[in-house]
Structure 1
Amino acid sequence: MGEQVNVGIVGCGAISGAYTTTIGRLPGLRLAAVADLDGARAEAVAVANGARALSAAELVADPGVDVVLNLTVPAAHAGVALAAIAAGKDVYGEKPLAATKAEALQVMRAAEAAGVRLGCAPDTVLGTGVQTARRHVDDGLIGMPIAATAVMVTPGHERWHPNPDFYYAPGGGPLLDMGPYYITALIHLLGPVSRVIGAAGHARPERTIASGPRAGTTIPVTVDTHVTGILIHDSGALSTLVMSFDAAATRAVPIEVHGEKASLIVPDPNTFDGEVLVHPIDGTWQPLPTLAGYRNASRGYGLADLTATPPGQLPRASAPLALHVLDIMESLLTSTTTAQTIPITTTCARPEPVPLT
């Protein structure tokens, strides 16, 4: 990285602590300002990190902010991004890129017209776990990839999150919340997707918050909380996806990739590292050496990658990738209500691999 980049955070909720820790330890980034609808929360984060607490409007207009880190709830992603772009700022946001594909396209077109850089989480796939698995796939260890499975099962975020309402409202649910980690990893491993087929349901009409000052409060469930689907990749590989807020637990590994020569276990894509295992046709499971990815990475490495990307090049956690992931998820949900195979109208290149760094 070159000159230090000044970061302004909009949204000081639960995830912001992970980002401020990363910003504090990467010499190319400096936290300049923070904003939140809860002024007291913004002030606390500012004091803890030697930053200024501003309103969102003040932050995006501030000449001392180079890039806006958008950590708001999904429904606010597009509005905050568009305001920052209009002020000439680069933007990196939490997933998804926007609440809908239409909004995401609006944000991308605005960024292109303004000549600013736009990136989006997840950046977990840039760590040594997924990147090492990708390196082994690219090197031909498993032969031609044939299929993959991706499984995320949890009884629900209300068990730990003090304000889980948005997880169970339109724009929420297990697919839109957790799907980006798994689908982004599958694109890194197997490339873009051309068609999807999905089915979904929900087990309970309401949830009870289990922690924080609202513990015991009941909230309605207005989205499907168990989603399953098939992703048909351009390459012909088939990925089976299961995303659930309805079940107690699973012993399934997060991701498996199956090829003509071997099968591969990929670590949890919601983390940055983990062991990669291979099982040749005539062999047993064995660990593989770490060959790629950012070592000791954490949330915010995608932001650092964006700020270090030369002009004219796409960052690895790019807007086209995030749009493609959002299109896949939105199309899967459409398929759950229409019982049809849905073509994906967007695409993206596989992001550049991360060398062992």
Structure 2
Amino acid sequence: MGEPVSRASPLRIGMVGAGTISGQYLETVGRLEDLRLTAVADLDAARAEAVAAAHGAAAEDLDGLLARDDVDVVLNLTVPQAHAEVSAAAIAAGKGVYVEKPVAADVAAGRRVLAEARAAGTVVGGAPDTVLGTGVQTARAALDAGVIGTPTSATATLILPGHESWHPNPDFYYQPGGGPLMDMGPYYLTALITLLGPVREVVGAASALRDERVIGSGPRAGERIPVTTPSHVTGALVHASGAISTVVMSFDGAATHAAPIEVQGTEGALSVPDPNHFSGRVTLSRDGGGWHEIPVSAGYRHAARGYGIADLHWAGAFAGDPLRGRAQGELALHVLEVMEGLLASAESGRAVAMSTTVERPAPVPLDHR
């Protein structure tokens, strides 16, 4: 790894990939004085130049960005198929890495990236970091305080009609690597692991009842696109703790009134807000009574996309202790294996044991940053 970065100094970030999601990260980097954007690279050089100029950074190609002395960490916002390649190049250049979900296109590639990082003594962090906000963290604090007794089970539910009604180019969502599980599952699974700990085994079922979708907006409106990956996935996750989570991820329904996540215990239940967001109402029911909101008690109050990399910096992960911080690449890899396992189980009809595991991420005390 390059020179350790003092946690007292701003973390200097080189961003690779300046597409749509980059705007949310740039807003956070611009707001937190502990983060500083120094360079931008994109396959579209003009786009890199425009983003760099707007944020006081330098525009580079990938090799130029990786050669810069004022880049401590590469923020990898490329397409999923390029995540592992770009991360490996950054590690080879002695840089830390923070990568958008998924950490790699498949578990095998993710393993290679993390092995290279360990050998180099550098850090790989991974999205999503929505679990660091007050929504999931307040629920986590309530669980840890024992308000629902021993957690026994959980449900995670996402049911949507699909993205083709509004997205002008929705093809990816219906191809291998897409679908509701790979697209949205990381938010829900990262939250479940944050709440209940790592997963030991999964059992899955999946379907794709329509073999094509119709684009509903934009210049391609009316065009039919093929569906070649499951558009409805359901499954059970057996956590190492013994709790069992039931997951439904679907682009085949119209709507649902189910809580995004609900955790049941021996003495009560918690309703957890949408893990695609950083905050929201956490409600509690005890001993079969009614539901009431519990006050915010944990998490970063102003969390937004990019707080995962900030949390690693604040914890000292880039200051020579690469295992510090919560949004670690090992967690992202475990989530990816859970998703691959559910799809493999759905295809084989058999339970799939996980070969990866992680420590349950440390809780985030209430923090006003």
Q: Deviation per CA, 1:57-93: give whole Å up to 9, x if none.
A: 2222222211111111111110110011111110001
Could you tell me which residue of structure 2 aligns to residue 322 of structure 1?
332
Map 1:254-333 onto structure 2 (within 5 A).
Answer: 254-310=260-316, 311-312=320-321, 313-333=323-343
1:61 and 2:67 are equivalent in the alignment: yes
Map 1:84-99 onto structure 2 (within 5 A).
Answer: 84-99=90-105
1:216, distance to aligned residue in structure 2 (A)? 4.4
* Aligned partner (choices 212, 221, 225) of residue 227 of structure 2: 221
- Structure 2: how far apart are the matches of 1:232 and 1:330? 15
- Structure 2: how far apart are the matches of 1:34 and 1:48? 11
Do the aligned partners of 1:195 and 1:342 also contact (CA within 8 Å) in 2? Answer: yes
- Structure 2: how far apart are the matches of 1:87 and 1:163? 35
- Structure 1: how far apart are the matches of 2:73 and 2:171? 29
- Structure 1: how far apart are the matches of 2:136 and 2:205? 27
For normalisation by structure 2, the TM-score amounts to 0.93
1:207, distance to aligned residue in structure 2 (A)? 2.9
Q: Deviation per CA, 1:253-304: give whole Å up to 9, x if none.
A: 1000000100110011000000100011142101111110000210000011
- Structure 2: how far apart are the matches of 1:218 and 1:337? 26
1:39 and 2:45 are equivalent in the alignment: yes
1:174, distance to aligned residue in structure 2 (A)? 1.0
1:306, distance to aligned residue in structure 2 (A)? 1.6
- Structure 2: how far apart are the matches of 1:288 and 1:207? 41
Partner of 1:241, secondary structure, is: strand
1:247, distance to aligned residue in structure 2 (A)? 1.6
Partner of 1:159, secondary structure, is: coil
Could you tell me which residue of structure 2 aligns to residue 30 of structure 1?
36
1:43, distance to aligned residue in structure 2 (A)? 2.5
1:214, distance to aligned residue in structure 2 (A)? 4.4
Could you tell me which residue of structure 2 aligns to residue 238 of structure 1?
244
- Structure 2: how far apart are the matches of 1:248 and 1:15? 26
Q: Over aligned residues, Cα RMSD in angstroms?
A: 1.4
Inter-CA distance 116–237: structure 2 relative to 1 (3 Å threshold): same
Could you tell me which residue of structure 1 aligns to residue 208 of structure 2?
202
- Structure 1: how far apart are the matches of 2:227 and 2:288? 47
Inter-CA distance 216–53: structure 2 relative to 1 (3 Å threshold): farther
Inter-CA distance 39–198: structure 2 relative to 1 (3 Å threshold): same
* Aligned partner (choices 334, 342, 354) of residue 352 of structure 2: 342
Structure 2 letter corresponding to 1:154: L
1:138, distance to aligned residue in structure 2 (A)? 0.6
Structure 2 letter corresponding to 1:238: I
- Structure 2: how far apart are the matches of 1:209 and 1:114? 45
Do the aligned partners of 1:200 and 1:227 also contact (CA within 8 Å) in 2? Answer: yes
Pick which of 91-100 and 199-208 moved more. 199-208
Partner of 1:156, secondary structure, is: coil
1:168, distance to aligned residue in structure 2 (A)? 2.1
Percent identity among equivalent residues?
60
- Structure 1: how far apart are the matches of 2:324 and 2:219? 43
Inter-CA distance 51–157: structure 2 relative to 1 (3 Å threshold): farther
1:205, distance to aligned residue in structure 2 (A)? 2.2
Could you tell me which residue of structure 1 aligns to residue 3 of structure 2?
none
1:170, distance to aligned residue in structure 2 (A)? 1.8
1:42, distance to aligned residue in structure 2 (A)? 2.1
1:142 and 2:148 are equivalent in the alignment: yes
Partner of 1:263, secondary structure, is: strand
Inter-CA distance 22–216: structure 2 relative to 1 (3 Å threshold): farther
Do the aligned partners of 1:61 and 1:84 also contact (CA within 8 Å) in 2? Answer: no
- Structure 1: how far apart are the matches of 2:196 and 2:16? 34
Do the aligned partners of 1:92 and 1:303 also contact (CA within 8 Å) in 2? Answer: yes
- Structure 1: how far apart are the matches of 2:98 and 2:164? 27
Structure 1 letter corresponding to 2:269: S
* Aligned partner (choices 173, 181, 186) of residue 167 of structure 1: 173
Inter-CA distance 98–68: structure 2 relative to 1 (3 Å threshold): same
1:41, distance to aligned residue in structure 2 (A)? 2.4
1:215, distance to aligned residue in structure 2 (A)? 4.3
Could you tell me which residue of structure 1 aligns to residue 364 of structure 2?
354
Q: Deviation per CA, 1:85-104: give whole Å up to 9, x if none.
A: 11111000111110111000
Q: Deviation per CA, 1:170-198: give whole Å up to 9, x if none.
A: 21111111111111111111111111000
- Structure 1: how far apart are the matches of 2:19 and 2:122? 26
